[in-house]
Structure 1
Amino acid sequence: VDRIKDLILCSGYNVYPRVIEEAIYQHEAVAETIVIAVPDDYRGQAPKAFMKLKEGYSLTGDELKKFLKDHLSPIEMPRDFEFRDELPKTMVGKLSKKELVEEEAAKRAAISAESA
């Protein structure tokens, strides 16, 4: 996934995942993070953040949201936070957004199939 595809169009604004990721990395408990776009009925798209915490730390979505209020505009604030033991990586060890995008698309497809 390249940077143009990473762009999140949120309520008509261009939101860059890298800006959100850099703000999240400022929290001492976060070891790794990936931000992707997810569909949003109201905004069109919204940011969703996936994080791996450093060993020995604990953090909730509400605590992180409170921390990020000083670093991000309301339009950049991730709608959801998901904490994981590991984040997907490419063969060379870089964080892989592609797998998370595919995973979220599969979740949406399963939900829409259940409601149909």
Structure 2
Amino acid sequence: MVDRVKRMINASGYKVWPTEVESYLYKHPAIQQAVVVGIPDPRRGESVKAFVILNEGYEGEISEDEIIEWSKQHMAAYKYPREVEFRTQLPMTSSGKILWRKLQEEEREKAEKQVR
């Protein structure tokens, strides 16, 4: 086991561990920080979404699609992020841990609004 079971993403029946995807994303030269969450997907059950903070000098130089294409080349077909969102900061606790649950809740709320 690589991560907490609660964080596991079930994408089309495949188990995707967010920390594994994050570790691949950190190998990209443009990525300073990344967090991966599962988002609702009507066809796949859940999809992988990455929230990314870019290193200085890469803002406006690289697109979400380029990160996705790079990920396709470096990860298994069921693991790579289907969506990437650039952020200037991520929600964190006072001790510096990323609040991934908050990001996941935001995505679920967005999905519920789209269904209505």
**TM-based fold match above 0.5:** yes
After superposition, where does 1:81-96 map in structure 2 within 5 Å? Answer: 81-96=84-99
Distance (whole Å) between structure 2 residues aligned to residue 108 and residue 69 of structure 1: 24
Cα deviation, residue 71, structure 1: 1.7
Matched, 1:60 2:52: no
Matched to 1:77, the amino acid is: Y
Cα deviation, residue 110, structure 1: 2.2
Cα deviation, residue 7, structure 1: 0.2
After superposition, where does 1:99-114 map in structure 2 within 5 Å? Answer: 99-113=102-116
- Identity, in percent, stands at 39
Q: Which runs of 4+ in 1 moved over 6 A?
A: none
- 2:34 partner SS: strand
Distance (whole Å) between structure 2 residues aligned to residue 13 and residue 85 of structure 1: 31
Cα deviation, residue 18, structure 1: 0.9
Cα deviation, residue 66, structure 1: 2.2
- Tell me, which stretches of 5 or more residues in structure 2 are unaligned? none
- 2:48 partner SS: strand
Matched to 1:110, the amino acid is: K
Cα deviation, residue 109, structure 1: 2.4
After superposition, where does 1:15-30 map in structure 2 within 5 Å? Answer: 15-30=16-31
Deviations 1:41-97 (A, max 9, x none): 111111110001111113212211222223201100111110011111112111110
Matched, 1:76 2:79: yes
Deviations 1:5-52 (A, max 9, x none): 110111111111111101110011111101000111111111110001
- Tell me, which stretches of 5 or more residues in structure 1 are unaligned? none
Distance (whole Å) between structure 1 residues aligned to residue 77 and residue 45 of structure 2: 15
TM-score by length of 2: 0.89
Matched to 1:91, the amino acid is: S
Matched, 1:97 2:100: yes
Cα–Cα, structure 1 residues 42 and 112, in superposed 2: closer, same or farther, change >3 Å? closer
